[in-house]
Chains A and B, each alone.
Chain A
Amino acid sequence: MVEGVLVSLYIFVLAIFVGVEVISKVPQMLHTPLMSGSNAISGITLVGALVVAGRVESPISTVLAVVAVAFATINVVGGFLVTDRMLQMFRQRKGEAE
């Protein structure tokens, strides 16, 4: 099991380096959509919420899991949609069709 956590740590650390590399290249102009978009990505916790919500255990457990699913879904759906709404406003020239 310790081995499993070590592998996960490797992945975690390497992903941070990838994140720093990729995100340093995002221009300041797009920092608001970057925040809302990356926020939607952190809604990936939805996958975890779905896994625990799918187990049938105690009623309390189900309540927690369903709230978690709802929260994470708001995060994902709201995040990606509002980012899309913002990004379609960025135009090179006035009135340019998207």
Chain B
Amino acid sequence: MTVAQTLAVVVTAIEQVTPLIKHFTLAAADGGTLPAFSGGSHIIVVMQGSLRTHRNPYSLLSSPQRLDTYEIGVRRMEESRGGSHFMHDHLKVGSRLEIAHPVNLFGLEKIARKHLLIAGGIGITPFLAQLEDLEGATAPYELHYAVRSPEHAAFLDRLRNRAGERLHLYCDTENQSIDFDGLLSAQPLGTHVYVCGPAGLINRVVDTARRFGWPDSHVHSEKFSAPPVGDAFDVFLARTQISVHVPPDNSLMESIEAAGVEVPYLCRGGVCGFCQTRVIELEGELVHNDHFLSDAEKSGGKRIMPCVSRARCTRLVLDL
């Protein structure tokens, strides 16, 4: 297993598309073609901040048919550990960044008979690329997009242009809200539902679908977690025989990387399971923040996802 190799890119355009969202266009630093991807893919953007290196996942929103540039949308997070603020405040046209190759953990099911896409806020970004994949496909689709207010509805022109009547916009300020029961109670057999956005929206869709008898294989969601802060702790890496201190606002993975040990990763958001690491010894408890391990695995205490999870412990030994 190898750590994802990075590509050097340069920022070629920045546009403030809503009060909170900036739209970045990136091109390969050597002017070449970027790696191919499918709708729903994300990249990891590596930012060299003054205090730490940020590595944040962002969905690609540009057309998979265009590989001269990648486009991403970045929402400025109120409680940021610095990544989104770095993107918003420090990047200028001409800035250079490192990115990891695209990975798709939120792809469209190619044999679906219908696609039901549900986005909340910045969760619209993977769907922008998927609409390009759906263009010309035979399966029908609907896109339901919920935002705070019209001024927060990012990329609306592009969406209207692509989806036309298939776009349904809901603004909190207009007291419009998605009719989840209506939407999920009568979809034809072979429909797949995809949801991306805040945890509340995802939970609502997943719970409603389950209530109406949808099997898990037809329900797809993606939410990247930022690594939550927590208590400081120390970890001993058994294979490399070193001890690493994890401060409250650094993730376990970041701390291990800062000590010079590479941890394999793809998403850095608790989704993909790639960084899953064996726990050899533990005195205390693990604080699981991922969406990958099952509840049984989490309570078992034998596995941890160092990208987002932490520990409250006096001793932790990992198989790294």
Q: Does A associate with B in a complex?
A: no
A interface residues (Cβ-Cβ under 8 A, vs B)? none
